[in-house]
Chains A and B, each alone.
Chain A
């Protein structure tokens, strides 16, 4: 059974703190993605990775960085959290090739920055 897990379901941080969101998949997927989801804006891609140590910017990478040291783990880092980064963060993974569009999502982390 396909499984994507995220380290926290709910997180509250203060402005200026460094925040790590972790995502792990057990499906041996090559591709991994980080999205944020906001009311009225839908899901927007922050970063994605198609291989270990590889990363590509998505539509809204400003204020974020990522790390992929192992195939199964993809981390999203907020270097200095700000209130406009309060959001639902969703991680996803997919295979390479023709199946790459079928992304499997984790349960999400609701981050509040105060």
Chain B
């Protein structure tokens, strides 16, 4: 059975801190791993990673995939209160259409 595990489940940091969120997976026929940010409502797409070792970057957020060790990390530098959200990791399942989500990491950035 496919499995996606995120850690930690929740995290509280101060503004300006750097955080690292983890996602490990066991998936048949891995295709891609995705990161989403969910504030009060709909998850919004952040990154899609398909190849090992290639960092994806968007502003203060970056992510990298290790296909040998079966994990990905999402880094947020110089955190702001607006980064407070649930961060979801998802892996493409065997069907090639559907995403298999982890339970998410709840991040709270305090002023």
Among the 9-residue stretches B14-22, B53-61, B76-84, B92-100, the one with 4 or more Cβ atoms under 8 Å from chain A is: B92-100
Taking Cβ atoms with an 8 Å cutoff, the residues of B that contact A are: 31-32, 34, 41-45, 48, 88, 90, 92, 95-104
Q: Say whether B31 contacts A101, CB under 8 Å.
A: yes
- Chain A residues contacting B100 (CB-CB under 8 Å) are 45
Q: Say whether A48 contacts B98, CB under 8 Å.
A: yes
Interface size of A as a range: 20 to 34
Q: Say whether B97 contacts A31, CB under 8 Å.
A: yes
Residues 14-43 of chain A: 1 if any B CB is under 8 Å from the residue's CB, otherwise 0? 000000000000000001010100001111
- Any B CB within 8 A of the CB of A105: yes
- Chain A residues contacting B42 (CB-CB under 8 Å) are 4, 90, 105-108
- Chain A residues contacting B97 (CB-CB under 8 Å) are 31, 33, 48, 50, 56, 100
Q: Say whether B48 contacts A101, CB under 8 Å.
A: yes
Bound form: Cα–Cα A90–B104 in Å: 15
Q: Say whether A102 contacts B48, CB under 8 Å.
A: yes
Q: Say whether A103 contacts B104, CB under 8 Å.
A: no
Interface residue from B48, B90, B95, B99 paired with A56 (Cβ < 8 Å): B95
- Any B CB within 8 A of the CB of A104: yes
- Chain A residues contacting B103 (CB-CB under 8 Å) are 40-42
- Chain A residues contacting B95 (CB-CB under 8 Å) are 56
- Chain B residues contacting A103 (CB-CB under 8 Å) are 45, 99
Q: Which of A83-114 contact B (CB under 8 A)?
A: 90, 100-108
- Chain B residues contacting A40 (CB-CB under 8 Å) are 103
